[in-house]
Structure 1
Amino acid sequence: MVRAEILAVAVVAMFAGPGGAQSMDKATDCGYQAEVVAAVQQARKDRVGERQVQQHVAEKATWPENYNNAIPLIAGWLYGSDVSMRDIRNEDFAAAWKELCLQQ
């Protein structure tokens, strides 16, 4: 999960800038990020192609629009060769992401 930790730091930093999640508490921010991770994971379970995942996930988004910026980063991680379909089916990446995010 080292790659996930690095990615989590990058995404947290992305939302900490101007116009990001500054006005929102950390738990809410990390919750939205975890929702994006869960949606990308579900897209992979549903066999949505990596090229279509941005549009597919953004169309169903229930989080603030600026969190859609993280979809390509998270998709690159969850669609990468380090993550098998077995892991996609059996692991809760959103919970792990939220835990890492809250530690930042």
Structure 2
Amino acid sequence: MIRFAIVAAIAFSAVPAFAQDSKEESCGYQAQVVGAIQQARLDRVKERDVQSHILAQNPDWPAQYNNAIPLITPWVYEQKRRVLRNESLSDAWSELCLQQ
């Protein structure tokens, strides 16, 4: 959990363009990014291909949130597949984000 908090803090501060959205919107978009990365992992997309894979799907979030993909991907990919299948990392991310 501490590692999750560190990754979240880095991602929250890494893209200042998030500030133009309300906190709820920003956290929602970030959670969508995390969910897309989680799904890519479950779909067995190679870690180095995650960003291009996600962007090829034309995600609904604003383009500046794409900058968070390479920051969050390593954290998602180090999770055990059992965790990825059974837990929603996007829900956990959203909850933590809203607490910041």
- TM superposition score normalised by structure 1: 0.90
Paired residue type of 1:9: A
Render the CA deviation track for 1:42-74: whole Å, top value 9, x for unaligned: 000000010110100122211011111111111
Q: Give the aligned length.
A: 99
Q: Which has the higher helix share?
A: 2
Structure 2: segments with no counterpart, 5+ residues = none
In structure 2, distance between residues paired with 1:58 and 1:42: 13
Kindly indicate whether residue 32 of structure 2 is the aligned counterpart of residue 35 of structure 1: yes
In structure 1, distance between residues paired with 2:70 and 2:38: 12
Q: Is the 8 A contact 2:27 2:97 kept in 1?
A: yes
Counterpart of 2:10?
A: 10
Instruction: Name the SS of the counterpart of 2:19 in structure 1.
Output: coil
Kindly indicate whether residue 70 of structure 2 is the aligned counterpart of residue 87 of structure 1: no
Instruction: Name the SS of the counterpart of 2:53 in structure 1.
Output: helix
In structure 2, distance between residues paired with 1:21 and 1:70: 10
- TM superposition score normalised by structure 2: 0.93
Counterpart of 2:93?
A: 97
Structure 1: segments with no counterpart, 5+ residues = none
Alignment RMSD (CA, Å): 0.9
2:69 aligned to 51, 56, 71, which one?
71
In structure 2, distance between residues paired with 1:72 and 1:4: 15
